[in-house]
Structure 1
Amino acid sequence: MNNISAIMSLEKAEMETTAEDGKSSRICLYKKPIKRDNYKVEPEWEETPQEVRRKRLLHHQKECRDAAFNAGRTMLEDAPFSEEENQDPMDVEKVRYPSRKHTNKQYANKLMMSEWMVDVPEDLVEKWWMVPCPRGRRNLLVARKGKTEVYSRRGEKLAEFQSALPGGHADEMNRNCTLLDCIWVPKHKIYYVLDVLAWSTQPLLNCDAEFRRFWLQSQLHENEDLKLQGTKRNQFPILALPSVSCDNNLSEFLSNLPPLPFLDGLLFYHKEGYYMHGFTPLVTWLKPYMLPEILGVSVPAPMDEKPEGYVNMMQHISSRSKRKEVSISAELVMETASDG
């Protein structure tokens, strides 16, 4: 299979993971599962679409390993940096909505997005880990050609500054390039790193999540400058997030969690999953207060506090979806009015 065919095949598989038939499997969450090792990982129902899509995607990623590598290499080599783009750096502290000319398509829709954990993975204990996620803004950090740029999920350039990342400061005007999937917490002015797409010109899209996390943790901990704030070499701290394998005691991990900004939720990564753009069943999401309901895992206060009106996970997902639809409709009405 040549490179083009491999990439097309990989993209087709990704589309299939999100284009299953309309029948929802979420009702399965209401059935009483069998507990094992304090996790509800042996459901009494048969395979459901989310679990099927996980297996399908894992198989396809292994077949298209070369395509993932080539996609990462292309992302590093072909990223445009025009003079016009460099003339308008933005202050990270200012809320600005860049016009279309500031949107870089090379970095649009490159982030890997999670799905709700509507089906508990069969291999949760053996092949998953959990990462606490602070509340903030999801960004793609691009360190290249002596500067560090921040892009939104849509590829909008939000900020530019100096960092100690390879390729991210004026002392490094070489070909080093680093791409990180981060969460920006404005109140604390800190970037927390969720994942790595490339480090110092080394693409990591074709590496499994377990290797990516090991690589990321070691690189971030070795570079002390990345922990500093307001220095000439590093303007904002770029820090790793703690993580734990799901074969450990999750309750104990959460009880002894190091200080973090407000905890928004918990990400679960399949250790064998590659980094891919868009939504994937190999990364799932739960709110902390959902752990007792879904996994049978107790959480310490105040993580167990539920929002007002919360009934269960399915009702919560449904209400969020309806609010999102209303918001999108309102935006379309506003756009139509302004066009008129």
Structure 2
Amino acid sequence: MKSLLVIKPSSLGDIVHALQVVQTLAKERPECRISWVVRERFAGLVQAAPFVHEVIIFRRRDGTKAFLNLLRALRGRQFDAVWDMQGLLRSGLMTWAVRSPQKWGRKDAREGAGIFYDRRVALPAAEGPHHALDILQQFLPAAGVAPRIDFPLVLKPDAAQPWAEFFSADPANTFVMFTDSRGAEKEWPRFNELTTLIFETIPNARVAWCAGKLEEPKVAVPAERFLNLTGCPMDQMIALVRQPATFIGNDSGPMHLSAASGNRVLAIFGPTSPQRFGPYPLSNRKHCAVEAPGGNLAVLAPVAVLGALQELQARKL
């Protein structure tokens, strides 16, 4: 296989997982030229992957006309193989548009996407529930590569950030908190209290907040040891969660990126399953998941999260 088109337009966490799989492929098949279809919002992350040779941007916000233009552009392209790692109708149509003798798709594809594949990858052999990354690894045998994930995910260096000096202190006492998620039901509401507990119990702690929406702390924080990057653009968010630190946050794409980057990660789960969506793999001593009682994040106490954080910090790596 000399050329591959990967179709994985979104979302952030899913793209992180797909990049980890394709990184393995690139190590085993360095002669393969890899192209990738991705939404404009996440294009910077895929462009940062040194093993991706071409990024084809899907401008979803521009509507139907832009999508039809993309299909026309893909119709003129030839690849040895196509991997639809998204498994939805829109990505299935992209797969249909491309000329290729091998069009691989997910066995669990939805919205009728499966009619556009001529081959489907198997689900993991072990009994489920299967982690999202275990499912995507099953594309590797399509290229004759045994499923595996190598850490860390190696990306090109970030552009210089004005807050980079904040992360020059001890990574063990530096914490990045991602305070929101794609869905309100997955957002733990008590990061303010946890921030206070960290400053009270961990000497010289530094805490950086990050989120897609702007939020001001409702508790007193030491200005020289607190960084508020909530509301920052996507490129800064991606750079921030890759910093050497301990990540604390909800079930979210930034959590997966921090785990893939090799950081310690404490993930907070409510209605979703850490077995399916937690930092991969949960058996890694750098990874820990806290589950809210009954899946209700409103009743998860900050002291319980702090206890899990202290246990994670104490682990020998």
TM-score (norm 1): 0.25
More strand by share: 1
More helix by share: 2
Q: Which has the higher contact order (CA 8 A, sep 6+)?
A: 1
